[in-house]
Amino acid sequence: MTATPGASPTIVLVGHGMVGQRFLEALAERGLTATHRVVVLCEEPRPAYDRVQLTSYFSGKTPEDLSMTDLAFIEDHGIELHIGDPAETVDREARRVTARSGLTVDYDVLVLATGSYPFVPPVPNKDAEGCFVYRTIEDLLAIEEYAKKATTGAVVGGGLLGLEAAGALKGLGLTSHIVEFAPRLMPVQVDEGGGAALLRTIEDMGLSVHTGVGTQEIVVGEDGAVTGMKLSDGSELATDLVVFSAGVRPRDQLARDCGLTVGERGGIAVDEQCRTVADPHVFAIGECALAADGRVYGLVAPGYEQAETAAATIAADEASFTGADLSTKLKLLGVDVASFGDAHGATEDCLDVVYSDSRAGLYKKLVIGRDGTLLGGILVGDAEAYGTLKAFTGSVPPVAPESLVLPAGAGAPAQLGPAALPDDAIICSCNNVRKGTIRGAVTEHNCTTVPEVKKCTKAGTTCGSCVKVLGQLITAELEASGVEVDKGLCGCFSQTREELYEIVLALRITSYQDLLDRHGREAARGGDGCEVCKPTVGSIIASLAPAIGASNYVLDGEQAALQDTNDHFLANLQKNGSYSVVPRIPGGEIAPEKLIVIGEIARDFGLYTKITGGQRIDMFGARVEQLPLIWARLVDAGFESGHAYGKSLRTVKSCVGQTWCRYGVQDSVRMAIDLELRYRGLRSPHKLKSAVSGCQRECAEAQSKDFGVIATASGWNLYVGGNGGATPRHADLLAQDLSDAELIRLIDRFLMFYIRTADRLERTSVWLDRIPGGLDHVRDVVVHDSLGICDELEALMAAHVSHYRDEWAETINDPEKLARFVSFVNAPDTPDPVVAFVPERDQIKPDLPLLNIGLRPADDILEGSVTR
């Protein structure tokens, strides 16, 4: 493809989304940006951003965080980027594109990456005030603004974006509904069993789901704004905000207008090189393209592959796009959902292997051929094995299928690790990076860290779900090559956290600087340390404080400099710069007088109050200078710190037990209070949660906690290693029918053994799966004292209990410690102007400014800011 003699050939890219940006990177990698003029016409008012992570805007990410465009890359490669100026016409005969601004560009190659647009069902009043789509950052900003005056929101569509939109509405404080025409949620990705597990989990989050019904009409009031929805079953749903998320359609109007061939159901028809079938000078990539196999691919990974194919073809390299794997791994509202291969068992003569736990919201199904070939599968609630399973699809796995779906602790044999995968296994599905490519990055390009491999291969740079596997593969490859792998905590210490714990305990080291100077790497000695080791060592010293003769007050002397923001102010920092106040309420039991104190404080300081699932009352919106004033009143009323800000025990949840419940067999409230008061303030590698249930009905959900207790007629059963968070894990039974004294003794041992041997920021659930020997080894150590250390573990816990002091009670009585509680160190009487609130449901919520990344100079920042 040649241009006018004497002029550089011109490539025009219409659209600058994720796929468009990948196309530009592919051009640069092949040197085409140096030999061609590259012009980009972008419709949105901002350059490419991560649409896959769009919903994370509502959990605190800014538009800048979502940006995928390095403006230095654009400038360095001489790319002409026109923001907010879409192409309006294409003259294929003259090879000229005209933009909305009137700009005209003659092209040698035209690449259409116009993406897709949301499908809005043709229902009456679909364009009424209060109706939105969910596709761009601008859509999210509009929804966020309108939600300020709404109370209820409904989402039309129960697919990926629909569920994310519903979660976003709930996060904005709206009562949220999902309306899905199909009989289950995510009907394309999951089957009936997977849909049922997903439904239970989502309903448990407080969202209302309506499946098997369609939207007949949007009901509006006299002012033309949404007031409700009429559904196909005759019912009516009251709502004042509607989000349409019923699928997308290819944006192919520009192609239609200039006479390019489009498919019967949309999409710009292209061949295997991504050239349009009607014009060899025009390419189409991403969601606007109808591939040669007759599909329009709505996933980012195929779009990236098409971008690479188009760039290679323009560079006269051999490349083709013949189709893509539709396997997907998603995280919806914090729930893992994955499907791969023949997920619905369409293959004849196949068998299913199913594991289902409705209580935990887990559903795992593998489709197996008669000869043992893994054909596909569905994972809901736990997709940890997705990478391994997907890699073995189409082959006979080297282990029994049930071992690939049973969770840890359910009797499954050891599962396959990434090292067992073949080299052609795709590790990063977003960027189509295979295991062999990652191995090559280590062996041929001398990459030794995850960031180096990410830069070399692009693996892990989109959704990030494969980063853990990348680390495991890098370590395995280095070890296989005879390279000694540095397992040190960080660049300052060659020891692991466990080894540092032993050093601090044995040598009674009470200072981070002393530890660094005596045992740090030579290059780090005499330095200041780093953000990894400082809080880690601070936590170790705090855990061992009574035993080694250190202060167990985390803000004493050098310890204060080791803490992160939350511990630094003994409160949790919130998204608008304010802090939360969380007093301890052991067992959830509280006298009326104390309830009144909390109410009066919240009223007097204008705080947002919320009763949490952990049986506490959280108060939000306190400015940093108000924290001592609030805590002075709480301490005076008998409250103490709930340690919601620390890597320590949070709560011990309980049911009402035999005192009130007709099913209870033990006093669960008393036991929960005893445990919470015993382990309060215990610093550990990660947060600790616990619960006590008064009978086998398990109302306190003890089996989802780091250590959980369930009453029996003969005493107590102790469960350990549970996790109810993003990666749910049922706790394992450690011992049963224990007396009160036996129970407390085993918990003492278990917690101190965990603190002694866990890695930094490692929950008990992850630790239990990682530690050699797993549960059996832990049981041998803490129950049978196989290592002969139980007396020491008990003594360490006894020292902690006897030396416990409430951090806030000490803080409010020390003028020197109170001096840190100011918004600005050089203007202590000045409140932070960013901390602002607006009313909502008779309380407050943060008033956050809408952020726009725009293309503005770096010096367009407010001057004269006060230093925090």
Over pLDDT 90: what percentage of the chain? 45
> Same domain for 616 and 654?
no
pLDDT higher than 70, residue 267? yes
Tell me whether residue 514 is in a domain: yes
> Same domain for 147 and 40?
no
> Same domain for 656 and 780?
yes
> Same domain for 58 and 204?
no
Pairing of β 649-654 and β 707-712: unpaired
Asked if 232 and 214 count as a contact pair (C-beta separation under 8 A), the reply is yes
pLDDT higher than 80, residue 63? yes
The string of pLDDT tens digits covering residues 154-173 is 999 988 788 888 888 988 88
Among the residue ranges 270-284, 369-383, 399-413, 444-458, the one predicted with the least confidence is 399-413
For the chain, the maximum distance between any two Cα atoms, rounded to a whole number of angstroms, is: 93
> Same domain for 668 and 799?
yes
Tell me whether residue 478 is in a domain: no
Which residues on adjacent β-strands are paired with residue 81? Answer: 40
Tell me whether residue 769 is in a domain: yes
The band of 126, judged by pLDDT with boundaries at 50, 70 and 90, is very high
The string of pLDDT tens digits covering residues 131-140 is 999 999 999 9
Which burial class, exposed, middle or buried, applies to 413 when counting CB atoms under 10 A from its CB (0-12, 13-18, 19+)? exposed
Last residue of a domain, one of 752, 779, 805: 805
pLDDT at residue 59, rounded to an integer:
66
> Same domain for 630 and 558?
no
Choose between 481 and 139: higher pLDDT.
139
Burial 463-487 (b: 16+ CB within 10 A, else e): bebbbebbeebbbbbbeeeeeeeee
Tell me whether residue 326 is in a domain: no
CA distances to 180, 280, 303, 311, 448 from 318, in Å: 44, 16, 18, 10, 31
Over pLDDT 70: what percentage of the chain? 93
pLDDT at residue 670, rounded to an integer:
93
> Same domain for 755 and 838?
no
Last residue of a domain, one of 285, 314, 343: 314
pLDDT at residue 726, rounded to an integer:
63
What CATH number should be reported for the domain holding residue 23? Answer: 3.50.50.60
Ligand-binding site membership of 661 (annotated) = yes
Average pLDDT of the chain is 86
- Give me 508's structure tokens: 């009674």
Among the residue ranges 269-283, 285-299, 337-351, 532-546, the one predicted with the least confidence is 337-351
pLDDT at residue 334, rounded to an integer:
65
Tell me whether residue 376 is in a domain: no
The band of 2, judged by pLDDT with boundaries at 50, 70 and 90, is very low
**Rounded to 5 degrees, what are φ and ψ at 610?**
-150, 130
- Give me 207's structure tokens: 């969202």
Task: Determine the average pLDDT of the residues in 66-88.
Answer: 92
The band of 774, judged by pLDDT with boundaries at 50, 70 and 90, is confident
pLDDT higher than 70, residue 414? no
Asked if 678 and 690 count as a contact pair (C-beta separation under 8 A), the reply is no
Choose between 705 and 391: higher pLDDT.
705
Among the residue ranges 144-153, 381-390, 529-538, the one predicted with the least confidence is 381-390
Sign of CA dihedral 810, 816, 818, 820: negative
> Same domain for 730 and 627?
no
Chain-centroid distance of CA 584 in Å reads 28
Last residue of a domain, one of 786, 805, 824: 805
**Residue entry with tokens 């805007």:** 57
pLDDT at residue 238, rounded to an integer:
95
The string of pLDDT tens digits covering residues 106-122 is 999 999 999 999 999 99
The string of pLDDT tens digits covering residues 711-768 is 988 899 999 999 887 667 889 999 999 999 999 999 999 999 999 999 888 899 889 8
pLDDT higher than 60, residue 857? no
Question: Of the candidates 170, 173, 138, which has an alpha carbon nearest to the alpha carbon of residue 155?
Answer: 170
The band of 268, judged by pLDDT with boundaries at 50, 70 and 90, is very high
> Same domain for 662 and 780?
yes
Task: Determine the average pLDDT of the residues in 217-237.
Answer: 94
> Same domain for 695 and 769?
yes
The band of 868, judged by pLDDT with boundaries at 50, 70 and 90, is very low
Tell me whether residue 630 is in a domain: yes
Chain-centroid distance of CA 141 in Å reads 21
In angstroms, what is the C-alpha Rg of the chain? 29
List the domain range (segments joined by +) for residue 113. Answer: 10-117+250-314
pLDDT higher than 70, residue 60? no
pLDDT at residue 150, rounded to an integer:
93
pLDDT higher than 90, residue 202? no
The string of pLDDT tens digits covering residues 508-518 is 999 999 999 99
Task: Determine the average pLDDT of the residues in 784-808.
Answer: 92
d(CA 164, CA 173): 15
Question: Of the candidates 9, 257, 3, 1, which has an alpha carbon nearest to the alpha carbon of residue 112?
Answer: 257
Task: Determine the average pLDDT of the residues in 575-600.
Answer: 85
Task: Determine the average pLDDT of the residues in 231-238.
Answer: 94
Tell me whether residue 771 is in a domain: yes
- Give me 127's structure tokens: 């364009």
- In the three-class reduction of DSSP (H, G, I as helix; E, B as strand; rest coil), residue 287 is classed as helix
pLDDT at residue 393, rounded to an integer:
83
- In the three-class reduction of DSSP (H, G, I as helix; E, B as strand; rest coil), residue 825 is classed as coil
Ligand-binding site membership of 456 (annotated) = no
pLDDT at residue 416, rounded to an integer:
61
> Same domain for 627 and 656?
no
**Rounded to 5 degrees, what are φ and ψ at 843?**
-130, -150
The string of pLDDT tens digits covering residues 457-472 is 888 777 666 776 787 7
Choose between 860 and 506: higher pLDDT.
506
pLDDT at residue 825, rounded to an integer:
61
What CATH number should be reported for the domain holding residue 664? Answer: 3.30.413.10
- In the three-class reduction of DSSP (H, G, I as helix; E, B as strand; rest coil), residue 349 is classed as coil
Ligand-binding site membership of 258 (annotated) = no
The band of 325, judged by pLDDT with boundaries at 50, 70 and 90, is confident
Ligand-binding site membership of 655 (annotated) = yes
Tell me whether residue 344 is in a domain: no
Task: Determine the average pLDDT of the residues in 366-379.
Answer: 88
Question: Of the candidates 334, 219, 147, which has an alpha carbon nearest to the alpha carbon of residue 850?
Answer: 147
> Same domain for 797 and 836?
no
Q: Which long-range contacts (CB under 8 A, 24 or more apart) does 362-368 make?
A: 362/197, 362/407, 362/728, 363/190, 363/193, 363/194, 363/196, 363/197, 363/198, 364/405, 365/191, 365/193, 365/194, 365/405, 366/401, 366/404, 366/405, 367/341, 367/342, 367/343, 368/401
**What is the three-state SS of 784-811?**
CCCCCCHHHHHHHHHHHHHHCCCHHHHH
Asked if 350 and 316 count as a contact pair (C-beta separation under 8 A), the reply is no
Counted domains in the chain: 5
